[in-house]
Amino acid sequence: MFPRTVLFDLDGTLLDHFRAIYRCHVYAMRQLGMPEPTYAQVHAAVGRGLDEAIATLAGPENVARILPIYMEHWHATNLDDVVLLPGALELLQALRDRGVPSAVLTNKRADASQAVCAHLGLTPLLAEIFGAHDTPWLKPDSRFAAHALSKLGAAANTTVLVGDSIFDLAAAQNAGLRFLGVTTGTHTAAELRERGATEIFASLAEVHAALFADAPSRN
C-alpha cells in the first residue's frame, strides 16, 4: 500500500541530535554535583520525552531540579551539532513531489522540534510538526496520533509511521498505523521485532525504496 500520509519520528529517525542531548544532560547533572551519565545511558533514555529521560537518568525526585538547568543549556547549544540522517531530505522531497503529506510526530518538545526542523531545512517539506506540550499526550498514547491524523485530515488505514523506537512502534500499533522501523536510533532490529514489528530497515534510503515500490505509476 502506498500511503496517503506519512508520520515521522524525529530523533534517531530523521536526524541525529543525540550529541546535543547528551551534552545537556551531562551539563545539568554536573552543575548539581551528580554522577554524570554515559552516552549509552542517555541514548537509551531518549524516546519517552525529556521529563522521563531525566527521571530515568537521575531519579524522578530530581526532574524539577535538573530541568531548568538542562533547558537553559539546551537553548544555548542545541543546534551546534545536529545533523540530518542520510536519506531524510530525499525521502521527504519524494513524498512531497508525489503529493503525500509528511508530518513529524515526536515526544521532543514542540518548540525544540520546530527550531531544529527549521535549522535543517525540513520545515518547508512538512505539513505539520506535532511535539510534546502541543497536546496532553505523548507516544504511544493513541490520542496523540489521532490528534495528528485529525489535523491532517488523514485516515489511520492509509497512514504510515516511520520510527526508530519501541515507543514509535507501540504508537503505530495503538493507532492502527502501518509501522516502518529504522535501526538508526535507540532500538535494534531484534528489539523492534520482539515487540511485533515486521518491516524494519537499516536506513531511510531503504524505507524510501520500500515505500515507492508500492507507488502508483505516474502514467
In which domain, by residue range, is 53 found? Answer: 18-77
Please tell me the pTM assigned to this model. Answer: 0.90
- pLDDT tens digits, 191-219: 999 999 999 999 999 999 999 998 887 75
Give the CATH number of the domain where residue 169 resides: 3.40.50.1000
Contact 57, 41 (CB under 8 A): yes
Same domain, yes or no: 42 and 130: no
Supply the pLDDT for residue 205: 98
Supply the pLDDT for residue 219: 55
- pLDDT tens digits, 5-58: 999 999 999 999 999 999 999 999 999 999 999 999 998 898 888 999 999 999
Is the residue at 205 inside a domain? yes
Boundary of a domain, candidates 58, 77, 96: 77
- pLDDT tens digits, 80-95: 989 999 999 999 999 9
Contact 8, 104 (CB under 8 A): yes
Cell of 168: 514509535
pLDDT of 135 strictly over 80: yes
Same domain, yes or no: 202 and 111: yes
Contact 207, 91 (CB under 8 A): yes
- pLDDT tens digits, 150-160: 999 999 999 99
Same domain, yes or no: 88 and 70: no
Supply the pLDDT for residue 217: 76
Cβ-defined contacts of 162-166 (< 8 Å, 24+)? 162/6, 162/7, 162/8, 162/9, 162/13, 162/204, 162/207, 163/8, 163/9, 163/13, 164/9, 164/11, 164/12, 164/13, 165/9, 165/12, 165/46, 165/47, 166/47, 166/191, 166/192, 166/195
Mean pLDDT, residues 46-73: 94
- Give dist(CA 170, CA 176) in Å, integer: 10
Mean pLDDT, residues 130-142: 95
Supply the pLDDT for residue 215: 82
Supply the pLDDT for residue 73: 95
Is the residue at 141 inside a domain? yes
Q: Produce one character per residue of 72-83: b if its CB has 16 or more CB atoms within 10 Å, e if not.
A: ebbeeebbeebe
